[in-house]
Structure formats: structure tokens, C-alpha cells
Chain A
Amino acid sequence: MRYSKLISWILLSAGMISGNRLLSADLTFPFAESSLSGLVRSEKGEPLEGILVRAKRDGVNKALTVASDAQGKYRFPKLEAGRYVVEIARADGMEEPRKSGVEIKASQESRADFQIGAAQDIEQHIAGVDWIRNLPGTAEQQELISDTCMHCHTGILARSRFDKDNWLKIVRLMRGVHVHSGEWGMPTHGRTADAPLNRDMPGWEEKNQVIAEYLAQIRGPVPLKWDSAKTKVIPRPTGRSTRVLFTEYEIPYPNAELHDIDVDRYGMVWWSDWRWPYLGMLNPETGEMKYWESPPLPGKPEVHPGSQEVGFDEDDNVWTTLTWTGGLLKFDRKTEKFFTWMFPDRGLRKLMQNGMDHKRGRVWFSTHDYYDDDDIGFYVPKTGQYTVYNDFGLYGLVVDSTGNAYALERTGRGSGPRSQIARVDAETGVRTNYKTPTQPAAFPRRGDYDSQDRIWFAEYNAGQIGVLDPKAGKITEYKLPLGPSLALPYGCGVDRVNDIVYVEQYRADSLAALDPKTGEIWEYLLPERYLMARSPRGSPSSKPGYSVIWVGTLPRWGNGKLIKIEAWYR
């Protein structure tokens, strides 16, 4: 039997670690039984809604988080007995205390109340989106840091202090090299073949100086004084946004960086690692996590072995990209062996997304040569042949359920911004461009398809969710409540059971949800700040009115996590 090995492994692990079983499976909200509840109130005794409370059993790599309701009450489902740390996971702008040694017993409901005031050191209790907008200085200075550093680093600046000379070392490194690439340490350069290195460009060092000067003002040897009362903080969740349960799983090796994940048709959650040559799988039913190391690549000495998007072929084998080195990686589920396919030019190139055309046995990819060639194409494992389509100024790539590819474009070759979705028909190979209504720099970033093969995408710069209906040939845009400067939606994932669309708001560490049937949008705060989570992915275990969504995280400290979001959104 094709999956016998996998299934027997799953059953075995279920038996072996039944003590770690998820007791929260198949829940309804409110939970029928609870092991822990309590009240969250302000210093004045008023109930606080939308405060996230985490419970983590000592010595276990899993934590659960719930949100307080309009009465300030939070309530966990049934938990395994043991000693727990119960803490405020997120109360942006407020104190976030923890209680250790909370005893949870099998037969009774324990209680832990919290009374919290404004955070004393508020800079450490707000998301990146609030940090940058509350900084002193001119709009130009804020924009400089926002644009230069924070499209990746949402929080590390706020946790570091250096004088100007030492910030300068970091700024030169970050602006001067591709830290994350096949040539880790490779100098950054312009997009044409003969382009000089960035560090040789006029004004490069001057800009470093300006950035370092400002960083030394805001995060220098002398701490800034933050005024809690004047600090603007994103709103807390209310109403349906509090009917949520998060389960966080720590990745079982250090320094994990989960850029992309996906959920297979059995509900197993697969992660690739941006930094390590690992592919991993979580069985949410048992909590078991396992990971495999892919072998070094022959003839590719400059390899940095990280991966990005994850997909599944018609035989349920797992595919991901050799992101920095220009290849595809297949994990055979039956034999647990890896197979690699390198882009044939053997040059230095990135190979980012992948997507599956099950009918035609194609593995789609996007690739970039570190200069000006942005292409998409597909590889056919059965024949070993590949096809490339040139000139896509892309960021993301979505392949729908019937194998049509959609490049999410943000720029044209040698030109400025150009936001459009370029569709390549699976049968004819014909390309059709659909411009987003917001031009030119909406920046469609990452996307997903829904049950009707409409293509949903996050418009990062515009703070919107976009959707292309290929049948109507039309793109519709939905404005996110946080607005363009704060929302910064990075990735988009669809719960295809309900066709509810989720986008990850990068610096707010939150998910926005959209119901296309009603146009309603609501938000969930993720249970931690500075997660740098990318693309959410829906699980087939969603049910009507109940979404199960997963994200992977790559924090620059702590460790990567898989986070399951169960949302009772009706």
C-alpha cells in the first residue's frame, strides 16, 4: 500500500506519545469542558477584551493560547494535568505578567486572574508596526528605517542597542551583502549584468551614515523615554476575533526559520526551513514532529541549503525548493529519500515558489538569476523535461487546482513598479495579464486559490486583499482595516472548506480574515510579536463556520514555531 509506511508510523507515534495527545481536537466553541479559566482586568477593575492568555505545561514543546471576551473572561478547553506557566501572551501596550507553577488537575477547573496596567517599558510590549510609527524623528527618518530594515526585521531593532559606529557595521553588512542567499556574503548589486556592486554606487556609504546616525538616536547607548499614554497601539480583538484557539509547536531543532509550510490532504503539516536543509512534518493529532535532512548537492559548492514553498504531488510526495541555489527538492514519502533537480544552466539563481499541476505531472517554479531575469516554468519529473516562460517581474506564484499558473508581478524588466497577475494557461501556455486596479505599486506578494479557483493575493504596499476571477477576467480589491501603512499583508491563504481568506499582516503579527460572500473583514492577533510569519495555509480539517489555519514563523530570536489557528468565525 502506497502510504502504509507513513500510516504505520503515524499510528505508532500516536500510541507511543499518547500522553502528548491534543485534547483540543474537534472542539466546539465555547468549549464544553475547561481545565483553566480566569478574568483579565485593568488596574481599575474593568474587564479587558482581546487579551491573549497562554498556558504551557512545563517541559512540553506545545502551548495553547486563548483570548479574553467582552467580560474579560478567558477559558481554555480541557488540558492535560500538570504544572503550567500561565501568562499574558499579548496585551500590546500593557503589562504581560506570567504565573508559574499553576496546577491543572484532571477533574476540576483551575483559575488564574490577571490585573494589568500600562506597560512600564512599553517599547518592549508593542508590535513592530507600532514601534516604527511611535518613534521620534521626521517622517523621512521613519520611512528610511521602515523601508531599509523592517520589510524583513520586524523587531530586532527594538531589542538592540549600539552606538553609531557599531550600527554602521551592521548597516554595511545588511545593505552590502545577500545574507540569505546561495552565496551567503555575496555582495549586493544592481539588476544589469555589468551593474556595479551596491557598495560601489555613489551615495551608498552616505546613506549608511544617515541610517546609523538615526538608529543610534533611537536605539543608542542612551535609552529613549517612551510615554505609555502617548504611544499609539493597534486595536485589540473584539467579538468574533476572540473566538479563537492557538496551538503553538516549537520546532525540535534550534534556530529554525520557517518561511513556508503547507498542509497535506491528511491534515499533516509540513515545513521547510529557510536556513537549514530540513524538511519536517507535524502530525497535529498526536503532536509528533519529525524532520529529515536533505543531502548536500553535488557540483553546487556555494550551496546554502534553505527552502521555501512546500507542495504535494499526485502521489503525495513532498516538493520544496532549493531556494538559494536554483533547484527543486522532492521527498519521497514511501522511501523517505530525497531527489534533487537543479535548474540546468548551473548558474547562480534563486528558485523560489513551487506549485503543482497534478493532471499533467508538472512542478511549477519561479526563478531569478540575481540580476534581471525573473522567469517561471515547470519541471516534469516523469520525463525530466522542463519549460521556462520568460520575463515575469514576480514575487509570488500560485498554481490553481487545474494547473494554471499565476505570477504575482510587482515590476517589469528594467522598469518601475507594475502590479499585475500574469496567467499562463496550462493547456495552451498563453499568457494573459490582469492589472490590479491599484497602480502602480500595489505589490501583490503571495497568494493562494479558493475552491472556485479564484486567485487571492496580499497587496503588501496597498494594504489590501486582491482577488482575480479568471472567468470574469476581473480583479477586485478589499481594503484592510489597518490601512496601507500599517496592514502590510505579506501572504495569503484560503480555507477552501469555507472559502474564508486569511492574510498575514507582517508587522502587526496578526491575521486578517475576509468572507468574500459578505465582504466582512475581521482580525486575529497572533499569540506572539515579531514572528515574521509569512503565508498562512488552510487545513482540510476546517468545517463549516470553523477555520483551521496554520502559519510557520521565523523569529530572529527564540525559535521557529508552527502555529495552528482554530477560528470559530460565525
Chain B
Amino acid sequence: MPNFGRIFVTSTSSRQIQFALKYVFWKYSVLEEVQERMNKEKLLGTVGLVVFTMFSFNLPIKAQSQKEGAPLSEKAQKGKAIFNDRCFVCHDVDSVRVKPLGPTLNGLFKRDKLVVGKPVTEENVKEVIKTGPTPGMPAFRYTLSDQEIDDLVAYLKVK
């Protein structure tokens, strides 16, 4: 199971700080690469994460509707509907600052590597969607058809 709460015993007198720590630990525990880092770091480092998180959440919030660029292809349009239906609860594609549980997918295809370490290719992204290789992400192979995953990737490619 995901390694929830390993460092949650870091109690302080302030309930609020305690919560913030718990939240940040949980949030980042779903990302394997960050979890690796967490394992190495001590409290000071994690306080840094808290501060970063607090700061980042104060940035202005913009809804997706206000950031639409070029018109989407029909395929990407279908992919967008699937994204909003299935992915949006954990991921954003437009730097929407509403505390995504998983990594942002904005600019995914401009990156070198996926969080699982593989290069960002259509095939590898499809593989991640189908198999859910991280502790937090479920495998969508039985929920989404190959066609739907194709459409979804077409949408992610233009975000």
C-alpha cells in the first residue's frame, strides 16, 4: 500500500502546522520520485516543502476556460471530455492551483521523463494510463477503451 503517514508522528503543539505537514507528506507521497527525496530528508527540508506549498497555493487561480488556446481537434476535444471526467480529480493540465493530488500534466510532452522514469512518448504515457504504475494512480485499462486513451493522449499532447 502507499506509504501514508510514515513521518506523521512529527507532532508539534500547533494543530495547524501538524495538519499542514500531514497534508504535504501525503500529497507528495503519491509521487514516487518525491517520496524518494522525502525518505532522505529531515524535518528542515520538509518544512521547506510546507513553505513552498503554502506559497504556491497563494498564486492566483485561473480556470481552464480562461486559458483555452487554439481550437482543439475533434480527437483532442473528445480527450478533453475524458480528461475532465476521469483525470481531473487528481491532475491539472493548465497549472490550475487547486491542490492536485497527482503531478500536473501541463506540458507533459515537453518533458524528458515521466515520473516513472521512462521517456515521454505516446506509448509510455498510454502505458501509465493503462497500468497505473504509481502507488496513487489506478490502472484505467478496464475503464477506458484504447480509443478513449488515444483521444486522451491527443489532448495531453496539446496541453
Contacts and interface: CB of A to CB of B under 8 A. Distances in A.
Interface stretch (A48-56, A92-100, A120-128, A250-258): A250-258
B36 to A, nearest CB: 19
Interface of B, secondary structure class, is loop
A252 B136 CA distance: 31
A302 interface: yes
Interface stretch (A192-200, A439-447, A464-472, A532-540): A192-200
Contact of B136 (A169, A293, A347): A169
A168 to B, nearest CB: 8
B107 interface: no
Contacts of A193: 15
Contacts of A305: 61, 98
Contacts, number: 120
Interface in A162-185: 162-163, 166-170, 172-173, 176-177, 179, 183-185
B16 interface: yes
B15 A166 contact: no
A162 B15 contact: no
Contact of A163 (B15, B20, B54, B142): B142
Contact of B23 (A166, A186, A200, A205): A186
A221 interface: yes
B19 A348 contact: yes
A277 B58 CA distance: 13
A339 interface: no
A522 interface: no
A254 B15 contact: no
A301 B64 contact: no
Nearest to B55: A301
A496 interface: no
A303 B4 CA distance: 22
A557 interface: yes
A197 B8 contact: yes
Interface in B78-109: 84-86, 88-89, 98-99, 101
Contacts of A173: 101, 136
A179 B16 contact: no
A163 B140 CA distance: 10
B57 A277 contact: no
Nearest to A183: B23
A459 B128 CA distance: 44
Contacts of B58: 296, 301, 303
A255 B64 contact: yes
Given A179-B89, A557-B84, A162 B20 contact: no
B132 interface: yes
Interface string A474-495: 0000000000000000000000
B142 A187 contact: no
Nearest to B99: A184
A278 B4 CA distance: 32
Most buried by A among B15, B26, B55, B58: B26
B104 to A, nearest CB: 14
Contacts of B1: 168, 172, 205
Interface in A267-320: 275-278, 293, 295-296, 301-305
A381 B53 CA distance: 32
Contacts of B142: 161-163, 220-221
Interface string B2-41: 1011001000000110011011001100000000000000
A254 B63 contact: yes
B126 to A, nearest CB: 16
Contacts of A556: 85, 89
B26 A169 contact: no
Nearest to B59: A296
Contacts of A304: 98-99
A30 interface: no
A437 interface: no
Contacts of A433: none
B101 A185 contact: yes
A186 B19 contact: yes
B99 A301 contact: no
Contacts of A220: 142
Contact of B85 (A277, A303, A348, A558): A558
A557 B84 CA distance: 7
A169 B57 contact: no
B20 A302 contact: yes
A160 interface: yes
A183 B19 contact: yes
Contacts of A558: 85
A305 B98 CA distance: 8
A184 B8 contact: no
Contact of A161 (B16, B53, B89, B143): B143
B84 A187 contact: no
Contacts of B117: none
B138 A167 contact: yes
A450 B143 CA distance: 46
Contacts of B138: 162, 166-167, 169-170
A185 B57 CA distance: 14
B135 interface: yes
Contacts of A183: 19-20, 22-23
A1 to B, nearest CB: 32
Given A185-B23, A301-B57, A557-B85, A348 B15 contact: yes
A166 B64 contact: no
Nearest to A168: B1
A347 B143 contact: no
Find the residue from B22, B54, B60, B138 having the highest chain A CB count within 10 A.
B138
B139 A163 contact: yes
A305 B62 CA distance: 12
A347 B59 CA distance: 21
A348 B22 CA distance: 13
B147 interface: no
A253 B63 contact: yes
30 contacts: A162-B139, A162-B142, A166-B132, A167-B138, A169-B132, A169-B137, A169-B138, A172-B2, A173-B101, A176-B4, A177-B26, A179-B101, A183-B19, A185-B27, A185-B101, A186-B22, A253-B65, A253-B66, A254-B84, A255-B84, A278-B63, A295-B60, A296-B58, A296-B61, A301-B53, A301-B57, A302-B19, A302-B57, A303-B57, A348-B16
Given A169-B132, A172-B4, A296-B60, 9 more contacts: A169-B136, A173-B101, A176-B4, A185-B23, A253-B63, A254-B63, A255-B64, A255-B88, A277-B61
Interface of B: 1-2, 4-5, 8, 15-16, 19-20, 22-23, 26-27, 53-55, 57-61, 63-66, 84-86, 88-89, 98-99, 101, 132, 135-139, 142-143
